[in-house]
């Protein structure tokens, strides 16, 4: 589903290598957790996967579509939730959702049904008619999440999606991730919470200083370290901040 091949990215005119020749394959039907300390290169990698940042070297394909050569089809096959919650604050929730449905070509006959389903699921029905500016941090996160669920993309990419969500919404999102994968789709996400990664993910990748230092199932990782994910993470990242 997601194929990352030898990608690199350099900032500040070649002085800082944020991502250094990394490769990853994420299969259909799996939930993949992406961990790493602050400044390890997680967000840069995610921005390259989603076509927000150009790739210096290497290539990325999503469901067989190259993100640079066939960007539109690649983007149609994914839905992205960023960590920032930057969204058009002057729009109403429903206007933002209609915008997302339009640009992702959600057919008119299923649009209302899907919007209503997810608004109900995340208890956002009443707020949808209000300006996003009036939303709390968590509500902004929810409206962005709903926006990417509308076109039911084969690949979800989420940068710390659980941050700011209340326990109920967090639980619902995790459920939705499972259901999505059970239909043969894929979830690629980064998280702060190592317990969540441990319980939710089929496979985990750890990045540090721009390089992938470990990839595998929890069992694979335990084979080499015989420990909890927290200890594995700390030992692999040489005690860097516990952060995804």
Partner 1 sequence: MRKFFSLLKLQIKAQYGFSSLAYYMKNDKKAVWKTIGIGLAVLLGVGEIIWLYSYLMYQLYMGGSTLNTPQIVITMAAVVTGLMVFFFGIFHILSALFLAKDTEFLASLPISQGKVFLSKFLMVLLAEYPITLLLMLPPVIIYGVGQNAGIMYYLLAVLCIIMIPLVPLVISAFLSLLLMKIVSRSKNRDLITIVGSIIFIIAIFAGQNYLLGRMPDNQQDFMMAILNSSNTFVEFMGRAFPPAVWITKVLTGTGSETILNLVYLVLISMAAFGIVYLMASFIYQKGATAQLETVSKPGKTKLVYKKSSSVLTICKNEILTLVRTPIYALNSLVMVFVAPFLLTLPLIGGSMSNDPDLQFLYSLIDSGESQPWLILVVSGIIALFMLVNPAVSTTFSREGKNMWILKNIPVKPDVQVLGKLLAGCLISFAGCFLSAIVVMFSFKISFTSTIMVIILSNIALIPINAMGLFIDLMRPKLSWNNPQEAIKQNFNAVAAMILGFVMISIFGVVGFLLTRLNLNTVMLFALMLVILLIISYALIQLVRKSAAKAYARMEL
Contacts of 83 (CB under 8 A, 6+ apart): 43, 159, 160, 163, 190
Smallest distance from partner 1 to CB 228, Å: 34
Q: Are 51 and 108 in contact (CB under 8 A)?
A: no
Tell me phi and psi for residue 195, to 5 degrees: -65, -40
Does the protein bind partner 1 through residue 128 (CB under 8 A)?
yes
Smallest distance from partner 1 to CB 85, Å: 10
* Closest CB to partner 1 among residues 107, 167: 107
* Closest CB to partner 1 among residues 120, 175: 120
- Residues touching partner 1: how many (CB under 8 A)? 45
Does the protein bind partner 1 through residue 63 (CB under 8 A)?
no
Does the protein bind partner 1 through residue 88 (CB under 8 A)?
yes
Encoded tokens for 221: 């990782």
Find where tokens 């992205």 sit. 80
Q: Phi/psi class of residue 12: alpha, beta or left (left: φ > 0; alpha: ψ in -120 to 50)?
A: left
Site string for partner 1, 95-124 (x = CB under 8 A): x--xxxxxxxx--x--xx--x---------
- Counts for the chain of helices (H) and strands (E), in that order: 9, 10
Q: Coil, helix or strand for 19?
A: strand
* Closest CB to partner 1 among residues 115, 215: 115
Does the protein bind partner 1 through residue 12 (CB under 8 A)?
yes
Query: Cα–Cα distance between 151 and 114 in angstroms, integer?
Result: 9
* Closest CB to partner 1 among residues 90, 183: 90
Q: Which residues bind partner 1 (CB under 8 A)?
A: 12-13, 15, 47, 50-54, 71-73, 75-76, 80, 82, 84, 86-88, 90-91, 94-95, 98-105, 108, 111-112, 115, 125-131, 133-134
């Amino acid at each position: 589903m997601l194929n990352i091949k030898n990608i690199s990215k350099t900032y500040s005119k070649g002085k800082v290598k944020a991502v250094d020749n990394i490769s990853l394959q994420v299969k259909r039907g799996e939930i993949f957790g992406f961990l790493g300390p602050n400044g390890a290169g997680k967000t840069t990698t995610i921005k390259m996967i989603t076509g927000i940042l150009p790739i210096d070297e290497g290539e990325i394909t999503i469901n067989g579509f190259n993100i640079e050569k066939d960007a539109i089809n690649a983007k149609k096959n994914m839905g992205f939730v960023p960590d920032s919650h930057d969204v058009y604050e002057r729009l109403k929730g429903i206007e933002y959702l209609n915008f997302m449905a339009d640009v992702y070509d959600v057919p008119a006959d299923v649009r209302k049904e899907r919007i209503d389903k997810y608004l109900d699921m995340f208890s956002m029905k009443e707020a949808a008619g209000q300006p996003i500016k009036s939303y709390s941090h968590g509500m902004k996160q929810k409206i962005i999440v709903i926006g990417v669920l509308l076109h039911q993309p084969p690949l979800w990419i989420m940068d710390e999606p659980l941050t700011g969500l209340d326990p109920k919404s967090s639980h619902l999102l995790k459920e939705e991730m499972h259901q999505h994968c059970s239909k043969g789709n894929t979830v690629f996400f980064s998280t702060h919470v190592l317990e969540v990664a441990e319980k939710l993910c089929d496979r985990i990748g750890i990045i540090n200083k721009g390089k992938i230092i470990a990839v595998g199932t929890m069992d694979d990782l335990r084979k080499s370290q015989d420990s909890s994910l927290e200890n594995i993470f700390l030992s692999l990242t040489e005690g860097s901040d516990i952060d995804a």
